[in-house]
């Protein structure tokens, strides 16, 4: 049946609905520390939702400070490991806390959409999780402001960075992660070439699946495996909204981060260091909370997979070296950023 | 100042006056006279800061400020004014260099003057005839001169486009002033004072200015055209390294370009990202005792830049990823390397896969597109590139499956195929010049021969497989085929299997020695009988070749059976 409204209007209505939700639910965010007055025009901002990630935060913050993020805006979802206190002490962090349901806030995106709308306008905004580390072409010699400056000059408003799952060589709990340690020194392996891509014509984004999670945990039903496409870096405007995690945005022109005429556009990767020693505990906890996407089926699969003692590593795994390696393999591209 | 060269610099500054002030200081301290034009759009505070920063330098003058809009005559006007001021204020100048506030001198100014001194009467200005196509990138070429451009491209894009469209439709053309031939080139030049004076003091200057006021991007054509009128000693090469990408935007230079820039021996480079502190600290290199007066050799850095442009516009063949997802037939190389498909061979020779693996230096897989699993060589659960052998994800993006496999493997990929397998890639492979398709039609019949299934089931399977293969053959016989296809009917193949296999292996590996043996062939007894039974049951076997049948079907029978 043909939809009653043309797609264009449906998308617009959805965008307005998303923005409306974000505004309506802003009340659940309780301010812990608000240093947003320090934000200068042209600063790059990071938006993060976190829950009980205290041990990961120091390295995470330093990593992005080094890249050139000037200010972090955190939503702390009911942590009880002291992470809110830790964040309060950081001079470049503003933090809000909430005990509301992660699931009912569309997996935190309502909160993030609100903060983006309120503080992200006219800034390049990076929306990531505490276990995601952005790499982009030339990231070893050029800072994030160099990238955003170039994107500005090229007339681009969004930058794609696919999620690349990283895992350790042995069992997940073999090496204990210490605070402040580079998680990628433990989880440094990735799958090079098992990604399936299809295009979502309604939102105009690419839908990427595959990687170790799908291979190991969803082998019985790989089509339900997690999506890996992400657009985490956006020059924000208050009328924008993330639709589902950072997989896609509205208006749909922001999802056009790929070339369809054979060329390559510049893109990066989010190295996803989820699979550390902290993971087993975390996944049991998350399973109890039942706050994740599609009935937490992802966490169910993990816990089943973990109990059988499987490792993610296989003979075809590659050890991560640098962005050049990712570019040679064809996971990222420098496009025309010479 | 070395020899009798006295260098003047016109510095056009728009934004980021801090950096512009640094550049002005480099030029001035190198011994050059500098005239600075600051865009009237820049803030008064910034301008005052810049003036204060440079107040200790005697050789620096600020000129009347104009509002500059990209692509308009205002840029030329600013240059003219600044050059006039400079020449008037410092009458002893021999050369004038046009640079911008984000142009970074790479070599000491003394080397530049020394280099100019080698041929003091030469004008260094890139100047290419506008009728020779190919200089401009992503813009109009000779139409820059033959149409009127009253609107600003950046601010009045809609009007701009309508205006160009209208003039094209009506066939309107401007008349060129007599005596000039339109030339284009990089806007950064170094002219002798003599030529520059001649241009500025030309008795017909008003006429030329009026004409260029309504051309498109006159800063890339005004001096380039008029220099041809006044100078006979043009070295048509800019001393400034300035490259543009496919959309006409300037390339930016970063810290990691330092080495390449140093090796290029260019005098000046643009455009430097203001945050590239390493680059700004490194250049200009300090002059050595003996001045190096060699000419610029930018070939390497230009090659590197061209490579990225081609990566942006054409991409890497056979790559499908988050930022390259070409439409059908825009792929610019559907796959990244040659691969081969053998269809029917594994039905005739059950051990064919192993046998072929011994005779080729390639990865020989089983049925990669098979209905139960992707049969990688050696049958691992996880194949090359960590691709799992499951069918669900493979069939969601079969093209991605095949192209990733080919791209990630260092060796050539060879695999078996049959009408039982997933057929979605038939068009893709047939239209891919990298594909070698070796097909024996009708060979799918052989496994049915000894399957010991009831005849009804055999017949049903035969109907289905024959239909699949007929559809595939139609693809392979179409006019769009780009693959190298070797198509044989089963009877034809059985008549000379050794020769056909030899040909196939030779095609894949021209230097391989000729084969002398064949793998074990499947027992063919009862084939003719089965074919006859199928025919009698109303299904005409159409792909095995006629000589295997006891009595070939007549044409009327054929049509009826369909």
Residue B12: both structure tokens together = 């056009």
Asked whether residue B322 is domain-assigned, the answer is no
Q: Is residue B306 domain-shared with residue B350, that is, in the same domain? A: no
Residue B375: both structure tokens together = 């049969």
Tally the domains of chain B: 2
B390 touches chain A (CB under 8 A): yes
Q: What is the pLDDT of residue B449?
A: 84
Q: Is residue B295 domain-shared with residue B383, that is, in the same domain? A: no
Contact A193 B408 (CB under 8 A): yes
Torsion on CA atoms A145, A150, A153, A158, rounded to nearest 10: -80
Asked whether residue B334 is domain-assigned, the answer is no
Domain with B153 in it: what CATH number?
A: 3.90.550
Among candidates A150, A194, A258 on the partner chain, residue whose Cβ is nearest the Cβ of B387: A194
Asked whether residue B231 is domain-assigned, the answer is yes
Asked whether residue B330 is domain-assigned, the answer is no
Q: Is residue B448 domain-shared with residue B402, that is, in the same domain? A: yes
Q: What is the pLDDT of residue A254?
A: 92
The answer to whether the beta carbons of residues B57 and B32 sit under 8 Å apart is: no
Burial (CB < 10 A; 0-12, 13-18, 19+), residue B233, is exposed
Contact A198 B382 (CB under 8 A): no
Q: Which helix (H) or strand (E) holds B48?
A: helix B44-53
Q: Which of helix, strand or coil describes residue B413?
A: strand
Q: Is residue B413 domain-shared with residue B306, that is, in the same domain? A: no
CA distance B10 to B96: 7
* Surface of A (129-168) touching B: CB under 8 A: 138, 141-143, 145-146, 149-150, 153-154, 160, 162
A213 touches chain B (CB under 8 A): no
Nearest residue on chain A to B408, alpha-carbon basis: A193
Contact B393 A141 (CB under 8 A): no
Q: What is the pLDDT of residue B223?
A: 92
* Surface of B (263-292) touching A: CB under 8 A: 273, 275-276
**Measured CA distances, B170 to B139, B165, B473 (Å):** 20, 9, 52
For the sheet containing B240-242, what is the strand order? B104-105, B268-270, B240-242
Residue B411: both structure tokens together = 């060796």
Asked whether residue B332 is domain-assigned, the answer is no
Among candidates A145, A315, A334 on the partner chain, residue whose Cβ is nearest the Cβ of B311: A334
Asked whether residue B321 is domain-assigned, the answer is no
Per-residue pLDDT of chain A (338 residues; tens, 9 = 90+): 555 578 889 999 999 999 999 999 888 889 889 998 999 988 999 999 998 888 899 999 999 999 999 999 999 988 888 888 999 999 999 999 998 888 888 888 999 999 999 999 999 999 999 999 999 999 998 999 999 999 998 889 999 999 999 998 887 777 888 888 899 998 899 999 999 999 999 999 999 999 988 888 887 788 888 899 999 999 999 999 999 889 999 899 999 999 999 899 999 999 999 888 777 777 777 777 766 666 666 777 677 766 666 688 888 899 999 999 999 999 999 988 88
Q: Is residue B125 domain-shared with residue B240, that is, in the same domain? A: yes
Q: Give the single-character DSSP code of B291.
A: -
Domain with B536 in it: what CATH number?
A: 3.40.50
pLDDT in tens, A313-332: 888 899 999 999 999 999 99
Residue B113: both structure tokens together = 């003057």
Q: Is residue B406 domain-shared with residue B496, that is, in the same domain? A: yes
Q: Is residue B392 domain-shared with residue B523, that is, in the same domain? A: yes
CATH 1.10.530 for domain A21-130, yes or no, is: no
Between strands B183-184 and B128-129, the pairing is antiparallel
Q: Is residue B164 domain-shared with residue B90, that is, in the same domain? A: yes
B137 touches chain A (CB under 8 A): no
pLDDT in tens, B126-136: 888 887 766 66
B393 touches chain A (CB under 8 A): yes
CA distance B215 to B38: 23
Q: Is residue B104 domain-shared with residue B206, that is, in the same domain? A: yes
Low-confidence ranges of chain B (pLDDT < 70): 1-3, 133-140, 546-562
3-state secondary structure labels for all residues of B65-119: CCCCCCCCCHHHHHHHHHHHHHHHHCCCCCEEEEEECCCEECCCHHHHHHHHHHC
Number of CB atoms found within 10 A of residue A258's CB = 24
Where in the sequence is the domain holding B516, given as residue range(s)?
339-561
Contact B396 A145 (CB under 8 A): no
B460 touches chain A (CB under 8 A): no
ipTM: 0.90
A201 touches chain B (CB under 8 A): no
Q: Is the dihedral of CA B49, B50, B55, B56 positive or negative?
A: positive
Residue ranges per structural domain of chain A: 21-130, 153-333
- Count contacts between A and B (CB, < 8 Å): 182
Asked whether residue B325 is domain-assigned, the answer is no
3-state secondary structure labels for all residues of chain A: CCCCCCHHHHHHHHHHHHHHHHHHHHHHCEEEECCHHHCCCCCEEEEEEECCCCCCHHHHHHHHHHHCCCEEEEEEECCCCCHHHHHHHCCCEEEEEECCCCCCCCCCHHHHHHHHHHHCCCCEEEEECCCEEEECCCCCCCCHHHHHHHHHHCCCCEECEEEEECECCCCCCCCCCCCCCCHHHCCCEECCCCEEEEEECCCCEEEEEEHHHHHHHCCCCHHHCCCCCCCCEEECCCCCEEEECCCEEECHHHHCCCECCCCCCCEEEEEECCCCCCHHHHHHHHHHHCCCHHHHHHHHHHHHHHHCCCCCCCCCCEECCCHHHHHHHCCCECCCCC
Chain B hits for A333, CB-CB cut-off 8 Å, are: 311, 315, 321, 323-324
The answer to whether the beta carbons of residues A175 and A273 sit under 8 Å apart is: no
Q: Is the dihedral of CA B352, B353, B358, B360 positive or negative?
A: positive
HSE (side-chain half, CA atoms, 13 Å) at B250: 18
Q: What is the pLDDT of residue A238?
A: 92
Among candidates B245, B322, B397 on the partner chain, residue whose Cβ is nearest the Cβ of A160: B322
Mutate to test the interface with A, among B14, B321, B384 (most CBs of A within 10 A): B321
Give how far B258 is from chain A: nearest CA, Å.
11
Residue A214: both structure tokens together = 């799908």
Residue B230: both structure tokens together = 């006044």
CA distance B99 to B96: 10
> Closest by alpha carbon to A91, among A71, A76, A75?
A71
């Amino acid at each position: 049946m043909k939809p009653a409204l043309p797609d264009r209007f449906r998308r617009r209505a959805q965008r307005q609905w998303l923005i409306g939700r974000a505004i309506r639910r802003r009340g659940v965010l309780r301010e812990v520390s608000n240093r947003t007055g320090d934000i200068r025009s042209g600063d790059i901002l990071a938006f993060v939702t976190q829950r009980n990630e205290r041990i990961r935060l120091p390295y995470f913050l330093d990593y992005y400070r080094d890249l050139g993020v000037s200010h972090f805006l955190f939503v702390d979802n009911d942590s009880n490991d002291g992470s809110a206190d830790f964040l309060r002490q950081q001079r470049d962090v503003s933090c809000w806390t909430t005990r509301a349901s992660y699931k009912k806030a569309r997996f935190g995106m309502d909160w993030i959409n609100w903060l983006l709308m309120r503080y992200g306008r006219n800034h390049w905004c990076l929306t990531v999780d505490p276990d995601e580390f952005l790499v982009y072409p030339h990231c070893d010699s050029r800072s994030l402001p160099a990238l955003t400056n170039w994107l500005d000059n090229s007339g681009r408003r969004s930058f794609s960075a696919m999620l690349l799952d990283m895992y350790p060589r042995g069992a997940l709990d073999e090496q204990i992660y210490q605070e402040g340690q580079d998680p990628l020194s433990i989880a440094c392996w990735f799958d090079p070439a098992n990604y399936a891509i299809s295009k979502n014509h309604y939102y105009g984004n690419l839908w990427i699946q595959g990687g170790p999670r799908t291979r190991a945990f969803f082998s019985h039903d790989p089509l339900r495996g997690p999506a890996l496409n992400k657009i985490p870096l956006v020059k924000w405007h208050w009328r924008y909204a993330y639709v589902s995690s950072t997989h896609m945005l509205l208006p749909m022109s922001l999802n056009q981060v790929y070339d369809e005429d054979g060329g390559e556009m510049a893109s990066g990767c989010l190295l996803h260091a989820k699979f550390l020693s902290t993971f087993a505990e975390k996944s049991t906890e998350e399973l109890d909370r039942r706050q994740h996407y599609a009935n937490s089926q992802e966490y169910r699969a993990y816990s089943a997979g973990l109990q059988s003692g499987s490792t993610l590593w296989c003979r075809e795994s590659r050890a991560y070296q640098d962005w050049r390696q990712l570019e040679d393999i064809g996971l990222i591209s420098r496009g025309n950023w010479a | 100042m070395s020899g009798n060269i006295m260098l003047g610099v016109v510095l056009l500054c728009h934004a980021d006056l801090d950096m512009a002030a640094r550049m002005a200081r480099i030029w001035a301290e190198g011994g050059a006279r500098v005239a600075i034009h600051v865009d009237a759009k820049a803030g008064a505070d910034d301008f005052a800061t810049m003036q204060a920063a440079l107040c200790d330098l005697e050789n620096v003058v600020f000129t009347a400020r104009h509002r500059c809009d990209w692509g308009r005559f205002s840029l030329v006007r600013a240059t003219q004014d600044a050059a006039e001021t400079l020449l008037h204020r410092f009458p002893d100048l021999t050369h004038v260099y046009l640079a911008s506030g984000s142009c970074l001198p790479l070599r000491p100014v003394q080397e530049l003057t020394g280099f100019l001194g080698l041929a003091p009467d030469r004008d260094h200005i890139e100047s290419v005839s506008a009728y020779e196509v190919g200089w401009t990138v992503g813009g109009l070429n000779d139409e820059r001169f033959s149409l009127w451009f009253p609107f600003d491209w950046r601010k009045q894009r809609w009007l701009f486009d309508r205006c160009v469209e209208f003039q094209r439709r009506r066939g309107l053309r401007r008349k060129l002033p007599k005596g000039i031939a339109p030339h284009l080139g990089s806007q950064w030049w170094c002219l002798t004072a003599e030529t520059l004076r001649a241009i500025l003091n030309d008795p017909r200057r008003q006429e030329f200015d009026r004409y260029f006021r309504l051309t498109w991007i006159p800063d890339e054509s005004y001096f380039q055209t008029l220099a041809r009128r006044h100078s006979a000693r043009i070295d048509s090469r800019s001393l400034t390294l300035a490259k543009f990408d496919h959309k006409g935007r300037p390339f930016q230079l970063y810290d990691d370009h330092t080495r390449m820039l140093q090796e290029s021996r260019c005098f000046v480079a643009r455009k430097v990202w203001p945050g590239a502190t390493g680059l700004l600290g490194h250049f200009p290199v300090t002059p050595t005792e003996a001045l190096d007066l060699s000419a610029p050799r930018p070939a390497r850095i230009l090659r590197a830049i061209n490579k990225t442009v081609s990566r942006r516009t054409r991409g890497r063949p056979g790559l499908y990823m988050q930022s390259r997802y070409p439409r059908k037939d825009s792929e610019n190389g559907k796959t990244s390397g040659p691969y081969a498909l053998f269809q029917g061979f594994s039905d005739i020779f059950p051990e064919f896969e192993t046998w072929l693996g011994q005779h080729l230096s390639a990865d020989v897989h089983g049925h990669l597109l098979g209905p139960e699993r992707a049969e990688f060589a050696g049958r691992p659960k996880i194949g090359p590139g960590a691709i799992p052998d499951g069918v669900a994800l493979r069939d969601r993006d079969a093209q991605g499956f095949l192209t990733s496999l080919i791209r990630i493997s260092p060796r050539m990929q060879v695999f078996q195929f049959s009408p039982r397998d997933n057929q979605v890639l038939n068009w893709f492979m047939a239209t891919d010049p990298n594909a070698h398709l070796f097909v024996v039609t009708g060979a799918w019949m052989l496994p049915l021969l000894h399957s010991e299934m009831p005849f009804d089931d055999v017949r049903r399977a035969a109907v289905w497989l024959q239909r699949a293969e007929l559809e595939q053959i139609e693809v392979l016989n179409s006019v769009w085929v780009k693959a190298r296809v070797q198509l044989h009917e089963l009877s034809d193949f059985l008549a000379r299997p050794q020769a056909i296999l030899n040909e196939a292996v030779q095609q894949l590996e021209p230097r391989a020695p000729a084969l002398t043996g064949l793998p074990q062939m499947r027992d063919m007894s009862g084939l003719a009988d089965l074919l006859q039974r199928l025919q009698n049951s109303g299904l005409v076997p159409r792909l095995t070749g006629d000589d295997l049948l006891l009595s070939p079907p007549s044409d009327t029978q054929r049509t009826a059976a369909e």
